[in-house]
Amino acid sequence: MSTDPMTIKILVVALCVTASTCVALLAGYLERRTGAHPATAVLRAGTAFAGALALEILVLSTLGAL
């Protein structure tokens, strides 16, 4: 039984999105804990999500996994 390579790539990207979401939640939570305005915490979380996802995709592309 073999697995389609496209299925593996989709699952790897889904895992990257999940990990980036965890990073974003943590960043937003920590920003809010410092007393920041909720909009600022959301902005920080979005930035953390984008940065983490870009870094993960870049590393996986460089390694040839995508």
Could you please report the per-residue DSSP string of the chain? ----HHHHHHHHHHHHHHHHHHHHHHHHHHHHHTT--HHHHHHHHHHHHHHHHHHHHHHHHHHT--
Residue 5 pLDDT greater than 90, yes or no: no
Radius of gyration of the chain from its Cα atoms, rounded to whole angstroms: 15
Structure confidence by residue, pLDDT tens digits, 22-57: 999 999 999 999 999 999 999 999 999 999 999 999
Distance of CA 21 to the CA centre of its chain: 5
pLDDT at 1: 67
